[in-house]
Amino acid sequence: MGEPLVHLHDVAVGYDPEHPLIVDVDVEIIAGDVIAVLGPSGIGKTTLLRTIAGLVRPLDGHVELGVAPRGGVGYIPQRLGLVSNLSVQANVEMGVRVGLSRWYPPFFAVPKTQQRYAERAMEDLGIAHLADHPVRILSGGQQRRVATAKTVAQRPKLVLADEFLGELDDDNVDIVMRTVRTAIEAQNSAMVMVEHHEALAKQVANRIWRIQDGRLVEELSR
Ligand SMILES: Nc1ncnc2c1ncn2[C@@H]1O[C@H](COP(=O)(O)OP(=O)(O)O)[C@@H](O)[C@H]1O
Ligand SMILES: [Mg+2]
């Protein structure tokens, strides 16, 4: 049994207290977990992820975070959150900057150790040769790899990813999931991923959370 990283205590997820999206969410995320969140569009999957990340306040209950809110959580939004005019390397280094002191000047080069994390992540994801290219000229699959490298380089204890496998071809899914899994094992961390492709989710996850009728139902656990 791994260490608990996050505990959601009877959490109600949503924006409007009169109309919560998901209620009575009481779950724990344990080191080593790869959890896939399934459910129809508009049901609140992204909001649940943002609640775990601390970006949305729970309407009820509370989120007990056993990891540092800054640096400890790596969030890969659905729209990736990359800066398209900056180089691949600059984008990946933004990931490691999250883990630096908030007073570290943004115009200073990142320290050597963190530079190595960024380089290693780019190599693992097969984008090292693109380091100097602006992100905007890359394909969708390559951009997803950049977003993954950025998060892996940050070395978070918890990776939250929103539908990031969706548009990838099989080769890209393999590269991305292999790298993320290796990182999770090396850092004894965990991942929660929203995924609309059910077969794919079951292939890569060891736990499945299905959101239906305003509840979270745990389906598969292995
Ligand atoms: N910032 C927000 N304020 C209010 N309502 C929102 C906000 N973001 C999303 N919603 C609404 O919350 C519901 C769930 O959205 P979302 O969590 O994105 O669902 P999913 O990811 O499952 O498709 C939708 O009806 C959406 O319109
Ligand atoms: Mg969503």
Task: Give all domains of the chain, ordered by start, each with its CATH number.
Answer: 1-67+158-222 (3.40.50.300), 83-156 (no CATH)
DSSP 155-178: --SEEEEES-STT--HHHHHHHHH
Average pLDDT of the chain is 91
**Closest residue CA from atom 7 of ligand 1:** 15
- Per-residue pLDDT of 206-216, as tens digits, reads 999 999 999 99
Q: Looking at per-residue confidence, does 61 or 54 come out higher?
A: 61
Q: Decide: 15 in ligand 1 pocket, CB within 6 A.
A: yes
Position in ligand 1 atom list of the atom nearest CA 44: 17
**Closest residue CA from atom 27 of ligand 1:** 42
pLDDT at 72 over 70: yes
Given pLDDT bands bounded at 50, 70 and 90, which one contains residue 200? confident
Q: Decide: 41 in ligand 1 pocket, CB within 6 A.
A: yes
- The distance from CA 173 to its chain's CA centroid, rounded to whole angstroms, is 15
- CA dist 186 and 220 (Å) reads 24
Mean per-residue pLDDT for 31-43? Answer: 95
pLDDT at 19 over 80: yes
Position in ligand 1 atom list of the atom nearest CA 211: 22
- Per-residue pLDDT of 103-147, as tens digits, reads 788 778 888 999 999 999 999 999 999 999 999 999 988 999 999
Q: Which of 59-63, 71-75, 195-199 has the highest mean pLDDT?
A: 59-63
State the DSSP code for 110.
P
- What pLDDT is recorded for position 102? 76
- What pLDDT is recorded for position 183? 87
User: CA 163, 166, 171 angle in degrees (round to 5)?
Assistant: 130
> What percentage of the chain has pLDDT greater than the value 90?
64
pTM: 0.90
- Cβ atoms of 11 and 39 closer than 8 Å: no
Ligand 1 pocket, mutate which of 13, 15, 49, 59 (most atoms under 8 A from CB):
15
Partners of residue 16 on adjacent β-strands: 19
Structure tokens at 88: 């691949």
Q: Which ligand is nearest to the CA of 48?
A: 1
Structure tokens at 120: 């290693």
Structure tokens at 42: 């508009």
Given pLDDT bands bounded at 50, 70 and 90, which one contains residue 1? low
- Per-residue pLDDT of 158-187, as tens digits, reads 999 998 887 788 888 888 888 888 888 888
